[in-house]
């Protein structure tokens, strides 16, 4: 216990986990927005949109997250000088937002597939009934299909959020000071506490993800009862 206390006093462990939480929240919102657009394209009656949505999922899903994160940081930011946080923002802030973009783009595929699985639980008669009363494709999705699909997609979306929380460790490769980045510093400068370091990091991520898993299980059960 004394080793854990020493590590907490010497290193900004709480700051690292706060950065992890910020990355998770921002990337989760981005992934949900992108994933929703992608799944709408996949179920669209327009063939070109269907092909783009399917291609996006196939390509991004099979690309390592490390490659996407590195490409965003080195390609878009360092080489092309694209700045997401304004020209006067610090480099750390720019890298944070590029990390958010990479995480959002990558996990949007899981969001899209999760919502699509929810759409598959909606009976075909629902859409047919909507069209019979004069609703177009967009209105049918917005008022009939998606509200029901989101309830059926709670479990896969919750699992995606948990995976996203753990995958934020990848952005430490571009210098974002999340929990994984702090852990690397601790291992480098305090190797005598190697076991305590791994225990501390493991406990931190369990504290972050366990309540999420319990909440997803609870809300899934609750929504299933309502249906």
Is pTM beyond 0.85 here?
A: yes
Give the number of other CB atoms < 10 A from CB of residue 145. 19
Q: Does domain 18-176 have CATH number 1.10.1270.20?
A: no
Check residue 227 and give its pLDDT.
Answer: 46
Give the number of other CB atoms < 10 A from CB of residue 26. 17
Per-residue pLDDT of the chain (227 residues; tens, 9 = 90+): 677 777 777 888 889 999 999 999 999 999 999 999 999 999 888 999 999 999 999 999 999 999 999 999 989 988 888 888 777 778 889 999 999 999 999 999 999 999 998 888 887 777 788 888 888 888 888 888 888 888 888 889 999 999 999 999 999 988 888 888 898 888 888 888 888 888 889 999 999 999 999 998 888 887 764 44
Q: pLDDT for 115-134, tens place per residue?
A: 998 888 887 777 788 888 88
Check residue 223 and give its pLDDT.
Answer: 74
Q: Give the DSSP per-residue string, 78-128.
A: IIT---SS-TTS-HHHHHHHHHHHHHHHHHHHHHHHHHHHHHHTS-HHHHH
Q: Do 38 and 108 contact (CB within 8 A), yes or no?
A: yes
Check residue 225 and give its pLDDT.
Answer: 42
Can you give the residue ranges of every domain in the chain? 18-176
Q: Is 165 exposed, middle or buried (0-12, 13-18, 19+ CB in 10 A)?
A: buried
The size of the chain, in residues, is 227
> In angstroms, rounded to a whole number, what is the distance separating the alpha carbons of residues 186 and 195?
11
> In angstroms, rounded to a whole number, what is the distance separating the alpha carbons of residues 110 and 86?
30
């Amino acid at each position: 216990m004394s080793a854990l206390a020493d590590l907490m006093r010497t290193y900004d462990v709480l700051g690292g986990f706060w950065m992890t939480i910020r990355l998770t929240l921002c990337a989760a919102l981005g992934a949900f927005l992108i994933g929703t657009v992608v799944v709408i394209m996949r179920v669209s009656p327009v063939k070109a949109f269907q092909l783009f949505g399917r291609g996006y999922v196939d390509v991004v899903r099979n690309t390592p997250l490390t490659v996407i994160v590195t490409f965003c940081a080195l390609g878009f930011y360092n080489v092309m000088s694209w700045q997401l946080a304004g020209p006067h923002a610090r480099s750390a802030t720019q890298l944070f937002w590029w990390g958010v973009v990479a995480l959002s783009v990558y996990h949007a595929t899981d969001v899209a597939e999760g919502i699509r699985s929810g759409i598959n639980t909606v009976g075909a008669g629902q859409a047919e009934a909507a069209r019979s009363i004069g609703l177009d494709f967009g209105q049918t999705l917005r008022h009939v299909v998606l509200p029901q699909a989101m309830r059926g997609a709670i479990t896969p979306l919750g699992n995606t959020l948990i995976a996203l929380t753990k995958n934020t460790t990848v952005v430490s490769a571009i210098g974002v000071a999340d929990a994984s980045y702090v852990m690397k510093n601790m291992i480098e400068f305090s190797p005598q506490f190697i076991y305590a370091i791994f225990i501390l990091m493991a406990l931190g991520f369990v504290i972050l993800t366990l309540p999420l898993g319990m909440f997803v299980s609870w809300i899934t059960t609750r929504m299933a009862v309502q249906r």
